Amino acid sequence: MPVTILDETALALRQDWDLELPNTISEEAILQLLAERIVTILERGAETFYQLMYRLDISEKKLNAILDDENVPAKIARLIYDRQLQKIKSRHENRMRREDLDPELQW
């Protein structure tokens, strides 16, 4: 069975965030588990949280825009999920571009 972008995103988030994902994954399940993990990280302190956001290249502007909103962990989970998804899609596009190049021009 081919690996989907959802599978790749789930795997990356499971590794980075130590998530225990169910056998049948969905975007909603990933977001819920990620939000729960964010609550735990935020309880440890802001420094660890902001280091993770920096490492993931989550915009400080986007973070600040949602910090006063309702259900902050869910919104942060969405930012993280979307960023991871964006990175995976970018890798796929770059891989396809490399495959399209003339083999004689590749190193």
43-69 tens-digit pLDDT: 998 888 888 888 888 988 888 889 888
Residue 15 has, within 13 A of its CA and on its CB side, a CA count of 6
- The whole-angstrom separation of Cα 94 and Cα 84 is 15
Shortest CA distance to 58 belongs to which of 86, 37, 20, 31? Answer: 86
Return the pLDDT at 31.
94
Return the pLDDT at 72.
92
* Orientation of helix 5-17 relative to helix 72-100, angle to 10°: 120
What residue ranges of the chain have pLDDT lower than 50? none
Q: Any idea where the domains of the chain sit in the sequence?
A: 5-99
Return the pLDDT at 25.
83
pTM: 0.79
